[in-house]
Structure 1
Amino acid sequence: MTDCGCDKAKAELEEYLHNELARDDARDIREHMAGCADCSSEFHVNVVMTETVKRACKEAAPEDLRLQVLTKLRDLQSTHESA
């Protein structure tokens, strides 16, 4: 086991979270987090934040808001086209 250290683990945490690291680099980060409560905690915060953003992005705007935005965009477009 080669401890990659906190600096490397934290710098590559986002890539690790999204499975974007080479196998050896991912293994080094995983092994480091197994023994480092600070990096492990930061990883879990990132997991929760990523899941929260994903859920928020799946929610649709209320229909009346969507219609208001589309109407405003069309109004602006027609004003721009006739100018």
Structure 2
Amino acid sequence: MTDCGCEKAKAELEEYLHNELRGEDASDIQEHLAHCGDCSDEHLVGRTLTEAVQRACRETAPEDLRDQVLLKLRTIQSAH
């Protein structure tokens, strides 16, 4: 394999993070990240953000907060 370069690695980083690349493309990005500190740092930031969003999506609001929000929405809707 040859180094795909920073331009390709950064352009396809989002797809790489979400396992949306074909095998060879994913391997090229993985190899590049292993040897490029700048792209590896960017990958770490992307991975950290992706994991934080995934955790946040699994969380649920406390029941009383949900009730307050729903009541406020109904109040706003009824006024229009």
TM-score scaled by length of structure 2: 0.86
Q: Tell me how far apart the structure 1 counterparts of residues 47 and 23 of structure 2 sit (CA, whole Å).
A: 20
Corresponding residue number in structure 1 for 2:15? 15
Deviation at 1:48, TM superposition (A): 1.2
Deviation at 1:46, TM superposition (A): 1.1
Letter in 2 for 1:33: L
Corresponding residue number in structure 1 for 2:42? 42
Aligned-pair RMSD on alpha carbons?
Answer: 1.3
Corresponding residue number in structure 1 for 2:52? 52
- The count of aligned residue pairs is 80
Q: Which runs of 4+ in 1 moved over 3 A?
A: none
Letter in 2 for 1:43: H
Corresponding residue number in structure 2 for 1:6? 6
Deviation at 1:38, TM superposition (A): 1.2
Percent sequence identity is: 69
